[in-house]
Structure 1
Amino acid sequence: MHSPRWEMPVSYILAWPIGTQAGNAAFLNSKVNAQLQKILNNWAAFLLSSSSRSTLTDDKDGWFGEDAMSAMPSFDEDFTCDPETLYHRFSSWDDFFTRHYREGVRLVGFATDDVILVNACEVAPFHVAYHVQANDKFWFKDEPFSLTHMLANNEYAPQFEGGTVYEGILGTIAYHRWHTPVSGVVRKAYLVPGAYYAENLVQGFDATGPNKSLAYITQVNTRAVIFIVADSPSIRLLRFLVGGMCEFSSCEITVKEGQRVGKGSSWGRGAVGDVSMRRRRLGAG
């Protein structure tokens, strides 16, 4: 079922060197990341093309095969597709990966209660950090968060000092679009370029890639950041950050600064590829 060589081919090759001291130095180097960006741009271009649909089949190793469907048993009922047509009518692998829910499937809890936040995307809880500092040290096992690094020295960073960070992890087969956790007005939205294959060596060697370094990579990897002024005065300013990881480094922000958003409305998506490729495609409509 969806071999890692297919969905994350570069990671399949780099999983071991990422965790070495030499690899750590290399994958934090801006010149190395500039070359990786070119590779990921080409990979993204392929995944946006119709040629990428070769695994969207019901073959044993296909995304609609028995093994894959056992992990996504209600796929045809949940998502906008046509199981009676070739490739379920998806135009590319990217189209499949960033699929839409059918109308009425993804309901918003407490839609009219401005005090309650809802999950911004289909993440599983991973980590909660309290009393977050503006700057922290990365050589402790508890994976600290550093607001200055996360927000790339943004002017709003000091307002979150001493606050709480809730972090979730988005699985490969999960829904990869983002929705607003609360109603309000978008104050600021921007993309931060960064690493793609960084790993915190303090966590110990991780043969599966940066799974032990998820808190760390939200501060050094390519990422999207959105600030929203919530309607509820008890929430006020809220920050949403999406960190790219390995090939899954693409972040598309689909809202604009000053735009009013309702709880549960769409405001972006993540996908395979590189941020610059997504920005070009988004700008082209």
Structure 2
Amino acid sequence: MDVPVDDKVLDYEPHPLTEEGYSASAGALEELTRRAENHNQPPTSHIHGSSTSTESHKWLSKILPHGTIQSVENKFHLGNYVLDRQTGEKTWEAMSIYVRVGMHLLYYGSEQEKALHWKKTLQLLQNQSEKMGKEYDAPESKQHIVPFIQSFQLESTLYEMVEPDPNAYPTFNAFFAREIKESARPIADPENDLVTSSPADCRLTAFPTIDLATKYWIKGFGFTLERLLGSAELAAQFDGGSIVIARLAPQDYHRWHAPVSGTVRGIKDIPGAYYTVNPQAINEPGTLDVFCENKRSVMTLERSATGSPIAIVAVGAMLVGSIKYVGGVDTIGATVRRGQCLGAFYYGGSTVIVVYPPGEVALDEDLVRNSTGHKMETLMRVGWRTGVKA
């Protein structure tokens, strides 16, 4: 595993993505999704291969213009550190090769080229995401399941699943959005409804205010609560509030759960793009804000313990096929309890964002410290405590 020399991002200006670079990056992504159609190959040999491996570097060097690939390697560590909340250990997670290609697609050339480039990129990412969705909904895709389990060493987690037999799933997407036993994810302090929980098995950041989130983490231009939630009226209720960002990697359990108990007061589906939500994209100043650009669904709860509004935003990402609610929770007036499963993402990475109004939660100090002091995500599981009513 290749690990960078230090934790700091090197100070280089990104090389503009020329028309040649765009075409090469688009071709690289199409080649990766084509390779993924080979059911007999493990995903780490193509779409989920490490971007820092010698093999990946050689492959990209043959496809991408030298200036473009060198600039990205100078600008970014091709992966990121995460802190394990249970052990306190810092581990390095290499960026997958498909995310690496997605980073190239966030670049553009001149201002005149920018609008056209983004339009082409949007269409490309939508086409490839839909392609992967169809591919992994096909019966033949079940041949991917066992190689996927082996590649990401998920054998020890099979006992958690409602259906532990990989061969029982009709498609890869059915396995990807697998259901786990409720007992496998007990919630913290179940008798205390003032406690808030992690909405997912994830890499999590937590910020007491939106201003801190944009200072330390969300660096792309254009991020506002109004854009994220798709409503000025709703956003006004959270002005000055707290935010929790839960990023799901492809190997994670890919359902999200209620961080609080409450009653569903609103559901709003917002169409959008399929940009990568990798931290390198979120943390890069000057790029567009992917949270406000990507396809997402906003659920608003009235919290049982306080009567306050809570916004839960399920954000799709690069190669995500769909975002689906489960169990009828997307019905206005439905009641949900903390830790209850709300929905599932189908193939790809994704993110769940929880927004709290001012004074609604005092986020746990270790999560805030990791997010602001160390500028790192914390490995979390569904149901683990994230804070308590202030």
**What TM-score bracket applies, with the shorter chain setting the length?**
0.7 to 0.9
Show the counterpart of 1:217. 290
Change (3 A) 1:249 1:149: farther
**Using the alignment, how far apart are the partners of 2:134 and 2:265 within structure 1?**
31
Match of 1:18 among 92, 100, 106: 106
Show the counterpart of 2:72. none
Letter in 2 for 1:114: D
Match of 2:237 among 147, 150, 159: 159
Change (3 A) 1:39 1:259: same
Change (3 A) 1:262 1:4: farther
Show the counterpart of 2:189. 110
Change (3 A) 1:194 1:146: same
**Using the alignment, how far apart are the partners of 1:121 and 1:215 within structure 2?**
25
Show the counterpart of 1:53. 142
Letter in 1 for 2:316: G
Letter in 2 for 1:219: C
Change (3 A) 1:222 1:159: same
Letter in 1 for 2:302: V
Q: Does the 8 A contact of 2:47 with 2:98 survive in 1?
A: no
Instruction: Name the count of aligned residue pairs.
Output: 252
Letter in 2 for 1:79: M
Structure 2 matches for 1:49-198, cutoff 5 A? Answer: 49-57=138-146, 62-65=147-150, 67-69=151-153, 72-83=154-165, 87-128=166-207, 130-132=209-211, 143=218, 145-197=223-275
Pairwise CA RMSD of aligned residues?
3.5
Listed as ranges, the gaps of 5+ residues in structure 2 are 1-41, 49-95, 349-390
Change (3 A) 1:261 1:249: same
Letter in 2 for 1:77: Y
Give the Å deviation of 1:124: 2.0
**Using the alignment, how far apart are the partners of 1:79 and 1:150 within structure 2?**
33
Show the counterpart of 2:302. 229
Give SS of 2:197's match. Answer: coil
**Using the alignment, how far apart are the partners of 2:178 and 2:201 within structure 1?**
13
Change (3 A) 1:263 1:27: farther
Which of these two proteins has the greater Rg computed from alpha carbons? Answer: 2
Q: Does residue 1:268 correspond to 2:337, yes or no?
A: no
Give the Å deviation of 1:105: 1.6
Q: Does the 8 A contact of 2:282 with 2:289 survive in 1?
A: no
Give SS of 1:155's match. Answer: helix
Letter in 2 for 1:2: P
Change (3 A) 1:171 1:9: closer
Over residues 144-202 of structure 1, what are the superposed CA-to-partner deviations in whole Å (9 max), with x where a residue is unaligned? 64111111225311010111111121122111111111111001112111121278xxx
Q: Does residue 1:257 correspond to 2:332, yes or no?
A: yes
Q: Does the 8 A contact of 1:2 with 1:68 survive in 2?
A: no
Q: Does the 8 A contact of 1:217 with 1:243 survive in 2?
A: no
**Using the alignment, how far apart are the partners of 1:73 and 1:118 within structure 2?**
26
Q: Does the 8 A contact of 1:196 with 1:222 survive in 2?
A: yes
Letter in 2 for 1:33: L
Listed as ranges, the gaps of 5+ residues in structure 1 are 200-205, 274-285
Taking only the aligned residue pairs, the percentage that are identical comes to: 20
**Using the alignment, how far apart are the partners of 1:73 and 1:243 within structure 2?**
28
TM-score, normalization by structure 1: 0.74
Change (3 A) 1:26 1:47: farther
